[in-house]
Structure 1
């Protein structure tokens, strides 16, 4: 498609957009009385309007039924999480028995490492990516210390080549071969939070398994954003937060995936709790733990249904639309945003460098832009003029054109505001 940097062209794209109606399903903040252009769905998704009804339902059941809401609410609380299995499994490419919701992301990664990081004297090393999200880095370090090991000897980071912004697949595979039989675990972010790079999860998972290592993925920036086939890729485990592309609300519950190949292996250690116990016998209060055969067997406590209600509202929206339609719009919207940036770059003295891979198979719903010659003042200008974006030092802005609620006209309007912000600075 040949793009045009005009409002008329952007509106034409919006008129053809089969997902355009979903924009009105979300609540947008306002700046100066005008609806914002929202580019930070990679940090916190907008609130779906239908969320309130889901939360109100829980509150009404609590008020009217009290403890009996566990069994007699319209959506009984004791099995509330089971409503996520089918729709979430389609989002991440899994079997319903392989997914569950519980806790928050880093808590779940810690719990999953109880099962899947079991270092021995000869097999103890962890491979991760350089500049992983800080929470993952802290998690790795604390897990390694917990096992009495030295992070310097245990954690192996795959680094970017000098002068490059992204990690090459061949370097990931070479590092796996280099560590070889000492490799216990590969755990990488499926989409790098800083650059927006999408990793080849299928190939990397196969490479890790070749050495008998477990392979897991932090899908914080991937779930609801990219096409995932966790079951078919034979991923051992994964976890993701729900409040970014999945719009469940700040700090909300995490999703988990455990491949069915591990479901019946009772030798795998785990931190057990009541809610992971055999559902049919749970209320017999038996002293011996008998885990549910499936991802639910990794649960510990009964679930915070008030937190799950907004997530369920969003998950059902994903079920209505399907990942294929979201990805189709995502790719066109991101390409149009990239075009707009290039057009603005021609008109101003600044130089924009998109550090996200240009290959559509290696990127998703994020463009990270290095603003050479610009500083924090430009970011502040954008925010004051209704463009909600994200700043990362030294001078990178992350732009996430989420297909559920961003429009093509948003991309055009952003370009106009960006251009004015740069030109006004020099006056």
Structure 2
């Protein structure tokens, strides 16, 4: 018996005839869609019940049964070929030591190890090759860019930093301390927009209206591309255009968007962006980050005539090892690099980028992702415990239920759906999360009451989505 077979059997025991009929229809739909959309799960290493320590809780299943992994928004699965890519670099290290920096007979010379990845990554984020660099990690990269791009003008009153309430805490810390570094009072500098009462995400209109009214006081707009908690995909093109219309610099944290959404950063005229690679880009925990710097900002004098944070890896490669006391920045995003990148991290990222290419690129994957998440939403809405936001606002915590706080419009979300749980007790979400995890559906929770589900088009199937919804129904019925 597989995880899916067990989940569907349990559904039959839990539900009435009408619901069972609906399940059969969903199962047929899942089978059809899985025959239409390619899946590359054979290229990834899946945890098993045994490796997760769950075999003893699922004795009716083979311990080597693969878990149902819907957590690519937190950490992507490991491509099987990552071992090969990483081992090649370890072989180069063991065989030639320091010589591999300039005479690597196995792979790319380490002095240029990141460069073959740049065009691959540029395609995924919709950038010109001279606008992308691979470096650091997300918050470090974001801080480096913020120092250059945030140029408050106290005399004119253009000092504000605009972003969303409930941003990822690391972004908040970066922006808060950025204001302090510039000698400003964060409480008077940071502007966080909140959803309207009874709503769980910002409307694009709210953001545009604020910029129309107060944009001349805003120096920097810096939202998340996709909001980590709600899963909202902000309308990057429209917000960037409005910000520029009002004279603002516009940057984006694309942690949950890179490798997930079909981005067009150059076309949308984004000023700068930063992202991690361990989520949808599957580079491994703490994997190397990436930046986008619009080519209009990469001239040698820095951003808007201001100096950038500098290091030798941003210096012209021809003179880098001459050890001169003159910084001659590369006139591209590469000029924002500071230190040489981790060879092992680049190898791990490269292994995943090659799978993206094999799958036809981000456009093909995004098309499948929309259908996957739509199907997951459809399955979840068949639950006896699902309520619309308006219904939930009416009944409050009087009965146990869940709502979906991610926008219903597929163009305003990525792969992720965020489920918010309510009930007479405060432990509903954790009870459901624990039940699902122990039975092999791996997702993640965000306190106090949200479970995030993210079917990933590279390695998740439509059947995975159905199994998840069935198990959630089973979990809710046990409360």
Among 293, 296, 310, the alignment partner of 2:334 is: 296
Q: Which moved more, 1:411-420 or 1:102-111?
A: 411-420
* Structure 2 residue 87 is the aligned partner of structure 1 residue 48: no
Alpha carbons 1:5, 1:340 under 8 Å: kept: no
Partner of 1:310: 348
- String of CA shifts for 1:46-68, please: whole Å, max 9, x gaps: 00001001100110000001011
Instruction: Report the more deviating stretch, 26-35 or 6-15.
Output: 6-15
Cα distance 1:38–1:290, how it changes in 2: closer, same or farther (>3 A)? same
Q: Is 1:201 matched with 2:232?
A: no
Q: 1:116 aligns with which of 143, 149, 165?
A: 149
Rounded to whole Å, the distance in 2 between the matches of 1:311 and 1:5 is: 39
2:265 is paired with a residue of what secondary structure? Answer: coil
Judged with a 3 Å threshold, the aligned counterparts in structure 2 of structure 1 residues 5 and 420 are, in CA distance, closer, same or farther, namely farther
| Number of the residue aligned with 2:16 | none
Q: How high is the TM-score relative to the length of structure 2?
A: 0.85
CA distance in 1, matches of 2:386, 2:318: 67
Structure 2: gaps spanning 5 or more residues: 1-21, 50-54, 56-62, 388-398
State the alpha-carbon separation in 1 of the partners of residues 24 and 135 from structure 2. 45
State whether residues 3 and 339 of structure 1, in contact with CA within 8 Å, keep that contact through their aligned partners in structure 2. no
The CA RMSD measured in Å over matched residues stands at 1.7
What is aligned with 1:323?
362
Indicate whether 1:393 and 2:447 are aligned.
yes
The 3 A distance-change label for structure 1 pair 272 and 369 is same
Task: Flag the 1:143–1:12 CA change in 2: closer, same or farther, 3 A.
Answer: same
Say which of 295, 304, 310 aligns to 1:260.
295
- After TM superposition, the structure 1 = structure 2 runs for residues 10-409 of structure 1, keeping only pairs within 5 Å, are 10-18=30-38, 20=39, 22-31=40-49, 32=55, 33=63, 34-73=65-104, 74-121=107-154, 122-264=157-299, 266=301, 267-321=305-359, 322-345=361-384, 350-373=400-423, 374-409=428-463
| Cα distance, 1:3–1:302 mapped onto 2, change above 3 Å | same
Deviation at 1:388, TM superposition (A): 0.7
Distance in 2 (alpha carbons) for counterparts of 1:28 and 1:130? 35
Structure 1 length normalisation: TM-score? 0.95
Closer, same or farther: CA 194–251 of 1 in aligned 2, 3 Å = same
Deviation at 1:4, TM superposition (A): 5.6
Matched residue SS, 1:113: helix
1:8 positional shift: 4.3
Residues in 2 aligned to 1:347 and 1:273: alpha-carbon distance in whole angstroms? 53
Q: Distance in 1 between matches of 2:413 and 2:443?
A: 18
CA contact 2:385–2:402 (8 Å) conserved in 1:
no
Q: Distance in 1 between matches of 2:429 and 2:77?
A: 27
CA–CA distance in 2 between the matches of 1:303 and 1:9? 45
Asked if the contact 2:300/2:330 (under 8 Å) is kept, the reply is no
Deviation, 1:249, is 0.3
Partner Cα separation in structure 2 for residue 184 and residue 4 of structure 1? 55
Relative distance call for 1:347 and 1:295 in structure 2 (3 A) is closer
Partners of 1:227 and 1:15 lie apart in 2 by 23
Q: Distance in 1 between matches of 2:164 and 2:172?
A: 10
Please identify, of 394-403 and 410-419, the stretch whose mean Cα deviation from structure 2 is larger.
410-419
Q: Which moves more between the two structures, 410-419 or 218-227?
A: 410-419
Taking structure 1 as reference, are residues 4 and 168 closer, same or farther at Cα in structure 2, changes over 3 Å only? farther
Quick check: 2:215–2:247 contact (8 Å CA) kept in 1? no
How far does residue 372 in structure 1 lie from its aligned partner after superposition? 2.7
- Quote the Cα distance in structure 1 between the aligned partners of 2:239 and 2:135: 27
The 8 Å contact of residues 5 and 343 in structure 1, kept in 2 or not, is answered as no
